[in-house]
Amino acid sequence: MAKASAFTCSSCGASHKKWAGRCDACGQWNSIVEEAALSTGPAKKSLGAAKGRRIELSNLSTQDAPLKRAQCGIAEFDRVLGGGLVPASAILVGGDPGIGKSTLLLQAAAAFAQKGLKSIYVSGEEAPSQIRMRAERLGLTKAPVQLAAATNLRDILTTLDGERPDFAIIDSIQTMWADHVDSAPGSVSQVRTAAHELTTFAKRRGISVVLVGHVTKDGQIAGPRVVEHMVDTVLYFEGERGHQFRILRAVKNRFGPADEIGVFEMTGAGLAEVTNPSALFLSERDRPASGSVVFAGIEGTRPVLVEIQALVAQSALGSPRRNVVGWDAGRLSMILAVLESRCGVSFAGMDVYLNIAGGMRISEPAADLAVAAALMSARQDHALPTDTVVFGEISLSGALRPISQAEARIKEATKLGFTAALAPSTIKSATSGGFRIKKLSDLGEFIIEVFGDIES
Ligand code: TYD
Ligand code: MG
């Protein structure tokens, strides 16, 4: 029988009938690869022909023992997990190569081991001696973590079955090799099979597993997105190479809030927790500067202040640049369009650069007003007062829409020494002490309040 083959995108896992240069599901170029289809056997009889086993049903009120989470003591890590590690859960930790995944997870494994959880660290990339060297650097040589260097899935499952740890780390899922699957390690079918086997094994045996997945730019190796749907929790470890800050972000969590972040700093002795991220993201501000605005944001359950920076310059190009780091480019175009059509402030013929300081990435619409403020401040070369934070969502009509958790944002700003806020008029908040809130109903009013009458 001729072997069936399929074309799969190694970035998002979408399957295609034929090869194409670009995956139309995720937009990635050069990521579609041909692979042998997983089932190549003869078609099975229809399901009605042979009876299955009857499944036991239960109702929603059935009492289970409450979830017992285990905390490792690295508070930033525990919080991103939703308050600790849930037994028998599968967690995916994705991130660029070299960002610090192995470092973070070795630290977490050591911390769990010191709390009495049996922890095993399986590396498919490094030899035990290399991991020991890393442990030495991190000051963790005394931690009772067991190490293994292996890539054969069958061996790993047998070992885990014999050892019965509470916590196992597989670093990385792309190096694992299932010998019953006919394709190279790192291919979509190998990565999917390995992840499926490990997660079902984890559920059956009550082991919590962490799968490490490198985010890949190269189509030959499957990225972590192809297994996101199989696991309970998906965390991405991100940060700029040049910055020492690292952010662990929950993008999916069956046992806690998604969008929670943990902030770390990469030091010579591993990742250190940053318990007050606002102070860190704002640390380099001392005097007023045009184009710089402090946004009072919420990341997960925690308020975080970040600096938004904009630069506006005369363009020498026919179609001016719109460069964004840490925010959505589409949203920037929208804000520019609202400024132009509703407030008569044009950015035509000007290059616009927008940057979120500290390597942070923001997705909240509440940052709209702070972005508009930074753009206007850069365009007018007019600095906002250094004691003021800004937040609010902008609608297409130019009106400022209410946003959630205004109280928490203001509390965080007060804690860091800010004394005023520019915010939508519709927010509910009772200010205390000397904190002033300038409530505004639309973007035009905001511009007049801050910049006065301007010529467009
Ligand atoms: P690593 O955890 O190996 O990254 P990943 O597993 O995501 O590929 O981290 C590698 C980088 O971290 C490397 O460039 C060196 C740096 N590093 C430190 O700065 N301090 C440390 O204590 C350690 C262990 C690594
Ligand atoms: Mg690694």
**What does the pLDDT look like over 262-306, one tens digit per residue?**
999 999 899 999 888 887 777 667 778 899 999 999 988 889 999
Give the pLDDT of residue 39: 53
pLDDT for 353 beyond 90: yes
* C-alpha to C-alpha distance for 397 and 378, rounded to whole angstroms: 23
Distance 242 CA to ligand 1 centre (A): 13
- Over residues 102-115, the mean pLDDT reads 95
CB 9 within 8 A of CB 32: yes
Q: Is residue 65 part of a domain?
A: no
Our answer on whether the CB atom of 246 is closer than 6 Å to any ligand 1 atom is no
Instruction: Assess whether 246 and 292 both reside in one domain.
Output: no
**Alpha carbon nearest to ligand 1 atom 17, residue:** 270
Instruction: Assess whether 312 and 199 both reside in one domain.
Output: no
Confidence of residue 33 (pLDDT cuts 50, 70, 90): confident
Q: Is residue 230 part of a domain?
A: yes
Tally of helices (H runs) and strands (E runs) in the chain:
10, 21
Q: List the single range of 35-49, 225-239, 316-330 with lowest mean pLDDT.
A: 35-49
Give the pLDDT of residue 432: 65
- What are 359-403's pLDDT values in tens digits? 788 989 999 999 999 999 999 999 999 999 999 999 999 999 989
Q: Is residue 223 part of a domain?
A: yes
Q: β-strand 393-394 against 400-401: which pairing, if any?
A: antiparallel
Q: Of the residues 136, 141, 266, 267, which should be mutated to test ligand 1's pocket, given the most ligand atoms within 8 Å of the CB?
A: 266
Instruction: Assess whether 447 and 325 both reside in one domain.
Output: yes
Instruction: Assess whether 368 and 233 both reside in one domain.
Output: no
The pTM (predicted TM-score) of the whole model is 0.82
Q: List the single range of 45-54, 194-203, 373-382 with lowest mean pLDDT.
A: 45-54
**Alpha carbon nearest to ligand 1 atom 13, residue:** 98
Instruction: Assess whether 32 and 179 both reside in one domain.
Output: no
Instruction: Assess whether 293 and 242 both reside in one domain.
Output: no
| Ligand 1 atom, smallest distance to 96 CA | 7
Say which residues have a Cβ less than 8 Å from residue 142's Cβ, sequence separation at least 6.
Answer: none
Q: Is residue 54 part of a domain?
A: no
Our answer on whether the CB atom of 269 is closer than 6 Å to any ligand 1 atom is yes
Tokens for 18, please give them: 């034929």
Our answer on whether the CB atom of 190 is closer than 6 Å to any ligand 1 atom is no
Instruction: Assess whether 300 and 443 both reside in one domain.
Output: yes
Residues with CB under 5 A from ligand 2 (ion): 102
Task: Report the number of distinct structural domains present in the chain.
Answer: 3
Mean pLDDT of the chain: 88
Give the pLDDT of residue 186: 87
Our answer on whether the CB atom of 101 is closer than 6 Å to any ligand 1 atom is yes
Distance 100 CA to ligand 1 centre (A): 4
3-state secondary structure of 111: helix
**Alpha carbon nearest to ligand 1 atom 21, residue:** 270
Paired with 7 in beta bridges are 16, 34
Our answer on whether the CB atom of 127 is closer than 6 Å to any ligand 1 atom is no
Q: Is residue 48 part of a domain?
A: no
Range of the domain at 5: 1-37
